[in-house]
């Protein structure tokens, strides 16, 4: 089963932001690890399309703040959205792009569309994904005895602060893509399971070993039954029972048994 994937990062300095934007836009000289340049023409750019337009967009959003940002405030945050590799297998380019478009809709709802300055669909890396760059402006209401007014300022913690908020974000993302018809699971948070995170690669290897063991056990039953001259129907019965005991799917065997009965 495939999983919905969401990661975030905060950026304070213009240099760190510039390097990241260079990667997203595939600008010459930027870090291009794991990029297949022959597929870069498939990428989709939404919003800022070069460093100049990106910097202008960030500055324009910050200039709207009614409260002066702190000097050490995060100027931009990145949200990477996607899914585990098996989700994209067998899907066309348009189907993959449609999923990433749904991911963008989630990001718009999370940050507010006005705060998103650039979104980049990448199809030239191992697994397709969407990178969203946003200016983390918080809007709040300040009340005094005489009046109340709306205040806006940079506050990345409003979006990405605290474990509970991050856990809820992951849950909300999984529910959102599921509501759009995508067959994806939300990974169980470590805080709830108490288990160490198991890489997906290790998980699938373990599943393969389990299936192989079940198949071998079923094969042994078939062989023993044949030696004892049991009927073909009995062979399928024993194999299906053994497969079910080990957790292996018996559906295919049941279909074949039905064909034998017929």
Residue 26: both structure tokens together: 């595939």
CA angle 95, 135, 88 (to 5 degrees): 15
pLDDT of residue 197: 39
pLDDT of residue 233: 62
Maximum C-alpha span of the chain: 95
Closest CA to 68 of 153, 135, 172: 153
pLDDT of residue 90: 95
pLDDT of residue 141: 82
pLDDT of residue 55: 92
Number of H helices, E strands in the chain: 9, 7
The residues of the chain scoring below 70 in pLDDT are: 145, 188-262
The count of C-alpha atoms lying within 13 angstroms of the C-alpha of 51, restricted to the half-sphere facing its C-beta, is 15
Residue range 123-181, pLDDT digits in tens: 999 999 999 999 999 988 877 767 788 899 999 999 998 899 999 999 999 999 999 99
Coil/strand/helix, residue 89: coil
Q: What are phi and psi of 131, to 5 degrees?
A: -115, 125
pLDDT of residue 237: 66
């Amino acid at each position: 089963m495939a999983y919905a994937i969401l990661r975030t990062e905060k950026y304070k300095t213009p240099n760190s932001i510039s390097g990241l934007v260079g990667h997203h836009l595939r600008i010459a000289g930027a870090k291009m690890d794991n990029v297949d340049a022959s597929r870069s023409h498939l990428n989709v750019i939404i919003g800022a399309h070069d460093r100049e337009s990106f910097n202008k967009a960030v500055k324009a959003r910050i200039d709207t703040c009614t409260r002066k940002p702190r000097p050490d405030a995060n100027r931009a945050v990145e949200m990477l959205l996607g899914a585990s590799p098996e989700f994209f297998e067998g899907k066309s380019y348009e189907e993959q792009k449609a999923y990433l478009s749904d991911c963008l809709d989630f990001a718009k709802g999370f940050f507010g569309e006005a705060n998103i300055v650039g979104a980049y669909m990448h199809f030239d890396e191992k697994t397709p994904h969407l990178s969203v760059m946003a200016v983390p402006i918080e809007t709040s209401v300040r009340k005094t005895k005489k009046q109340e007014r709306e205040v806006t300022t940079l506050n990345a913690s409003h979006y990405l602060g605290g474990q509970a908020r991050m856990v809820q974000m992951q849950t909300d993302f999984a529910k959102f893509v599921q509501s759009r018809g995508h067959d994806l699971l939300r990974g169980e948070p470590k805080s709830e399971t108490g288990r160490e995170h198991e890489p997906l690669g290790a998980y699938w290897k373990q599943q393969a070993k389990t299936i192989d063991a079940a198949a071998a056990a079923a094969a042994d039953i078939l062989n023993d039954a044949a030696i004892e001259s049991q009927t073909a129907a009995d062979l399928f019965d024993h194999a299906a029972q053994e497969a079910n005991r080990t957790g292996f799917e018996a559906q295919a065997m049941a279909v074949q048994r039905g064909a034998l009965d017929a």
